[in-house]
Amino acid sequence: MSRIHDALRRAEKFPEAAEAPDAGAEITAEEAIAYVPEADVELAYPAPVELPVATAPHMVSRGEAKSPDVEWRTLLTRCPVVPFAPANEGHLFDSSRPQEAPSEEFRILRTRLNHMQTSDNLRSIVITSPSPAEGKTFVALNLALAEAQLETPVLLMDLDLRRPTVHDLLQIRRAPGFSDFVLGQAPLDACLRRIEGSNLYVMPAGTLARNPLELLNMRQVRVLLDNLRKVFGWVIMDTPPLLFSADANLMATLTDGTILVVRIGSTTYDNVVRAMQSLCENNVLGIVANGARAGELYSKYTYYYQRTGAENGEVEPASAE
């Protein structure tokens, strides 16, 4: 048997023998695999703040619990309404200022997705990224707000159960939410919020769950998603990064498509390739490049609106110089 297997067997039978090697001592590559100093392990994806943990008797036997009864025909009329009071750091879509470049970019994305929907019957999509801090939640929120400007109701689900932020950016309560409904601790209408003055509905992450992946694997989640597709024009899901958990990969198999968010100047080519390989190629709808230089976008849109306004007699024509 190889030295790797011998080292692993010794560590399993005699935990006290798996101690750190003496400083300066030479170790082979095989021995290095068997010993990983705890201090050298860095969490690239921070653990969430501890909140009261959602527990239920059926948590162990996942998928065997009875699905909560829902009156789907009147669901939207029973959801509580909350004001639209986003946090300043959210940089969210502002329908009152349509000439801003970011708003127009999300309208373009909305138009392309709606065109795809007519031919491919898309309803539910996952928004994810290869790594943290690449703007997936920013894109999910703004896309949902852009879609909600149209006539059909839109649902934004915060399924980043490890590090949810949608409720903070919209300044609404985190619970009850997704985990509370799946575990049978709250009715579905209480777990949704309708943003006042719009067709946007939000399902926050809910009470903290110890095992997010096991929660997402429950049969109730599949039943919920199947029914939500019949109620909402779009179901947009914000999920954890692909390379740091299996949650997004699982949700990609349960939905109609996936949008990958990358940040210009930050996301590496290798990470994009690894993220794409972890997904089914037929499930990837496209890639959104986040972090483009604002100066370039604003200059193009400013020039366009100046020219258009001048033709309508609204503003002075731009200088030819």
pLDDT of residue 317: 36
Mean pLDDT, the chain, as a whole number?
Answer: 77
- Find the angle CA(62)-CA(65)-CA(71) to the nearest 5 degrees: 130
Radius of gyration of the chain (CA): 24
CB-neighbour burial class of residue 197 (10 A; exposed 0-12, middle 13-18, buried 19+): exposed
Question: Residue 145 carries which DSSP code?
Answer: H
Q: How far apart are CA 305 and CA 309, in angstroms?
A: 6
For the domain covering 87-290, report its CATH number. 3.40.50.300
pLDDT of residue 280: 72
Domain residue spans of the chain:
87-290
Q: Could you report the per-residue pLDDT of 247-290, keeping only the tens digit for each?
A: 999 999 999 999 999 999 999 999 999 999 998 766 899 999 99
Per mean pLDDT, which range of 32-36, 148-152, 267-271 is the poorest? 32-36
- Strand bridging mode 124-128 / 284-290: unpaired
- The DSSP secondary structure of 241-293, one letter per residue, reads -TTT-SHHHHHHHHSSEEEEEEETTTS-HHHHHHHHHHS-GGGEEEEEEE---
The pair of three-digit structure tokens given for residue 95, joined into one six-digit string:
């329908």
285 — phi, psi (to 5°)? Answer: -85, -30
Residue 73 has pLDDT above 80, yes or no: yes
Per mean pLDDT, which range of 148-162, 261-275, 285-299 is the poorest? 285-299
Q: How far apart are CA 157 and CA 141, in angstroms?
A: 10
Q: Could you report the per-residue pLDDT of 309-321, keeping only the tens digit for each?
A: 444 444 333 333 3
Q: How far apart are CA 51 and CA 48, in angstroms?
A: 9
pLDDT of residue 45: 41
Question: Residue 57 carries which DSSP code?
Answer: G
